[in-house]
Amino acid sequence: MKPGTYTKYQDFQDIVNDKTEKDGDCLIWTAGCHAQGYPMVRWEGKMVQVVRHLVAENTGIELRRDHRVRNTVCGNVKCCNPDHYQVFERGTLEWGKTKRWTSYEEKQRLRDLWFSQSEEEQEAWGSKKRFAKKHSLNPATLDTLINNGFILYDLK
């Protein structure tokens, strides 16, 4: 612990035990989260992602910024069970697969769905943002689909 910092927890695992609830084999975080829903906590004077910290502790891997930690079991962003996560390194095929990848068919379906709306619906204030949120897209990705079509990348 950094000098001059106070915490009622002496060990990071104590925080996890206090701020999670068991749900099957998942440990669901019940405290503060990042805007994207990832469990966060102040530890040793700085904000840390709970899962990254737990994975680093349990695996002994010193995680760098270019490592991705991804839930490959339950998919729940609030799950803190380190056994549900894998670490991927930049440049590997697995690294690319950790990003949200949308198939050609799905992109075409979303594009067709957007253009099936009337012009008034498309131009209504906030319609792109609502559509993007409803279909779990980044608004910039939706803009690309609408304005430029899309480029098909063959990942095989």
Six token digits for residue 10: 């002496």
User: What's the average model confidence in pLDDT over 54-77?
Assistant: 83
- Between 23 and 8, residue with greater pLDDT: 23
pLDDT of residue 8: 75
Residue 144 has, within 13 A of its CA and on its CB side, a CA count of: 9
Q: For residue 121, with 0-12 CB atoms within 10 Å meaning exposed, 13-18 middle and 19 or more buried, which class applies?
A: exposed
- For residue 54, tell me if it sits in a domain: yes
Find out whether 104 and 152 touch, Cβ atoms under 8 Å. Answer: yes
In a domain, 89, yes or no: yes
Same-domain pairing of 17 and 92: yes
Q: Are residues 93 and 16 in the same domain?
A: yes
Whether residues 84 and 108 share a domain: the answer is: no
Do 79 and 41 share a structural domain?
Answer: yes
Instruction: Please count the structural domains in the chain.
Output: 2
Write the pLDDT tens digit of every residue in 98-146: 445 556 677 788 888 888 999 898 888 888 888 888 877 777 777 777 7
d(CA 72, CA 88): 11
87 and 43, same structural domain?
A: yes
Q: Is residue 134 part of a domain?
A: yes
Same domain, residue pair 113 and 83: no
Q: What is the pLDDT of residues 69-80, one digit of tens each?
A: 888 777 788 899
Say if residue 50 is in the same domain as residue 124.
no
Q: How far apart are CA 64 and CA 55, in angstroms?
A: 12
Res 152 pLDDT > 50: no
Rounded to two decimals, the pTM is 0.55
The pLDDT, as a whole number, for residue 90 is 67
Handedness of CA 41, 62, 13, 87 (dihedral sign): positive
Residues 17-40: tens digit of each pLDDT: 999 999 888 899 999 898 888 899
Residues 125 and 57 in one domain: no
Mean pLDDT, range 45-66, rounded to an integer: 87
47 plus 120 within the same structural domain: no
Both 19 and 92 in one domain: the answer is yes
HSE value, Cβ hemisphere, 13 Å, CA-based, for 97: 10
Indicate if 48 and 93 belong to the same structural domain: yes
Q: Averaged over 41-66, what is the pLDDT?
A: 87
* Cβ atoms within 10 Å, residue 143: 13
Q: How far is CA 60 from CA 1, 16, 31, 63, in A?
A: 19, 18, 25, 9
